[in-house]
Structure 1
């Protein structure tokens, strides 16, 4: 099916639509990496976005039951240079095309994704539309008027649930959590109680957790003032680890500020420097906002990690308590697992804070 990508600046790309083939509007962003498209499709942090993959061939190993990061695709749309129709992998259960059609996700191929990515790098992320029809002035007006809804309530769990374990009891605030984070904590034998994003601090603390984890999630951190107030209370009582959006909310709760990046960091090949050791790690990332460094002077936060591509803040710690935030994804999914040890480092701090050592297994670096 022929179709078009229309951007808010008026740029049009002709394309071949597949999947649902319906008209959709969302923020157009790009993600780098040679593999991991199933994780990208199902990552709740991509909720409401039209995702462009920079690698030219996508779908060559199909879709399987193991690589998902949530129960269904969360992207609004999907753009690739070429979609493989005959995947080859022993775990493949269906093609990319069938998967997107089944979940009613509109996708496009045949677009020059290099040219599209360069435009997004030069002008920043833009609102875009995938449509099977020739774009009209009404479509262009719809792009100008489009305002994304608050995404966190759309992707958080609706009910509290538990995951058994014999180790530390962690309360996890689900802001749109990836299954990879839960799996990383399970491998470390943690007992997890997972809460909806807008749960009150008192209700979280009532289960008497040893520590708190603030998950990844989509959107602008400043769209969640109620959660920021909850985090302010939690960090006064327990060790806390914030990942991605959780890291940004932690910074806001501490009095720092955040800002929108021009085109964000999305992909599984972003270099980050550990400022304590000088070592550089290749990390998996998915965020469009970052903590403003010049806002940290009025807080008790110090920078622990820095992005080597643009110098932005990638990690923070409180100077006076066991509270950390990391902007990248130590669980990977997709990407390198080089920073998985940060989960172990956090749990070691939990052991010290609780006075209970040796109850959590170490999970081989990831």
Structure 2
């Protein structure tokens, strides 16, 4: 499904749901994290790009402080009074919508009731942040419909991103960091976003692989990916435990030069592995920025490979499908490949020559078939733009 058809379907569904034309259509992108996995909730650095694939919401104000929302992907409409929104209520996908209104209301903004319809071409459950795309598209709509004007400045966009993080953590009860929402609000075409998750400062880094004859191949492995199943939260808890044992505020406080000493203080082998991943991953983000700014794609590829090995062995968040996808891409000549996103399924990325995209995708599909996995979906992407009003 193309973005144009998703946008049109959202508006058409709104007419069917309400009998009225929406006041507007807004959208926000999914994201791919180039490198810097599970560093955001450790106050670290990460380097995402926004995807061309987007989630679209058609919306109009209501005068009764109620939310009514329906998704083309989920079917039945959900309706709730804004006063009744709380942790776990409403449940499921609608929590990401209701949570945004709740979070902005909690910040003191005058948030109206809304009718909302949703359509998307961001793959769901693929580790490409379909949830943050939904949240940020809704936040963009609320900003405009409530006259908040937060889309007009970078600080305003950052404020919307933070509200979306609160919504996801509190109402949807998903213990994520803040990378996804900031990427959806702040990223730009053909640029990556270097994000400091301690200060929430950011800067743009050139990411135009085509200028170097390269491409970023994303493979949705179709392996189940769910951030509320406890595994993601357990990694976050382990990092907190390690920081407490080391007497630091967060694992960001451990410099690479002090890593060996820090590991020697930890009594748990599991915590040693977790700390080693976080500290070295933050350093790989710095190296990746330097590689991109110098146009050194081979160096970037090596960092991708090191990152995947760290996530597989130290953070233990990979899975057979992700390992096969990355190994196959390398065997086809990719400069580097790694899993992306929260892990335990989802997607991988590979740095490949633009001319090799079809052959690499075909090789990954064949490798999956030989392992008895579900067929993957691979596609090349460029860095896309942030949340915006479409009409």
TM-score, length-normalised on structure 2?
0.29
TM-score, length-normalised on structure 1?
0.30
Give the number of the structure whose residues are more often strand, by fraction: 1
